[in-house]
Amino acid sequence: MKEGKKPSELYPQVAECEEKLNQLIQEIINVGKEMFTVSKGLYMTDIFLMGVMNRSINLIDAILCLTNRWNFIAAGPLVRLHLDTLLRLSYLRASNNPDLFIRQVLEGKRLDKVKDEEGKELKDIRLRDYTRPIFPQVDNVYKETSRLIHFSDKHVFTCIEALDDTGRTAGFSVGKGSPKWREKDILSLLRCAIVITEAILAIVRGWVLEKAQITNLGDEKQ
């Protein structure tokens, strides 16, 4: 791509975002270990969160790899998948019966057919209601990243190299990577990944604290 360099080699702020995401990967690993040091007990929530953390780490890793290959078309949808994890995790956090929800997930049930305590189906629009208090940007991020999953204007404009209105000509680039991927758009994508990861981590840390309290109460009763 651009002089054979990665975005992180050209743009210092992109390098900072990549460093932050790698730090967050390590934080996820650390909190995963902590989850099983505060208590030897295994809860349904532990099982669910291990899947959440594993998916998050691998999505972040893929986003970073694809970004460094200038592959906007493949990196963008992964941020939407990362948000998908947060949507479901936000409902788990708010649910009065998390074990039931986890069993439904493990049984492979379609979540858009599962109903919450108010009888509303857990479609994405409903899950965003549960996510908004901890991630206020959810609606805008959902809208923009969904445009990266479904074929849209973004995919068309990505391959346009140059436009000449006077001569009514256009230049296109078809191949690996997006050479016209702008710095501000790369930063926007990576920053979205960062705030989503931070929100996921906050929920996981909340469970670790709750699990420690449950363990302490159990010890006091013995």
Nearest in space to 85 (alpha carbons), one of 130, 126, 55: 55
* Residue 100 belongs to some domain of the structure: yes
- The verdict on residue 1 lying in a domain is no
Residue 179 counted as domain residue: yes
pLDDT given for residue 115 in this prediction: 94
pLDDT at 182: 87
Looking at residue 166, its pLDDT comes to 66
Answer whether residue 41 is part of any domain. Answer: yes
Residue 3 located in a structural domain: no
Residue 14 located in a structural domain: yes
Residues in the chain where the model's pLDDT stays below 50: none
Nearest to 200 by CA among 115, 99, 118, 83: 83
pLDDT at 162: 63
Does 2 fall in a domain?
no
Q: In the chain, what is the greatest distance between 2 CA atoms, to the nearest angstrom?
A: 84
Asked whether the beta carbons of 181 and 72 are under 8 A apart, the reply is: yes
pTM of the model: 0.89
pLDDT at 41: 85
pLDDT of residue 154: 65
Supply the pLDDT for residue 176.
Answer: 74
Q: pLDDT value at position 218?
A: 57
**Residue ranges making up the domain that contains 188:** 8-221
What pLDDT shows up at residue 165? 65
Residue 169 domain flag: yes
**How many CB atoms are closer than 10 A to CB 21?**
19
Please state the domain count of the chain: 1
Handedness of CA 89, 90, 93, 94 (dihedral sign): negative
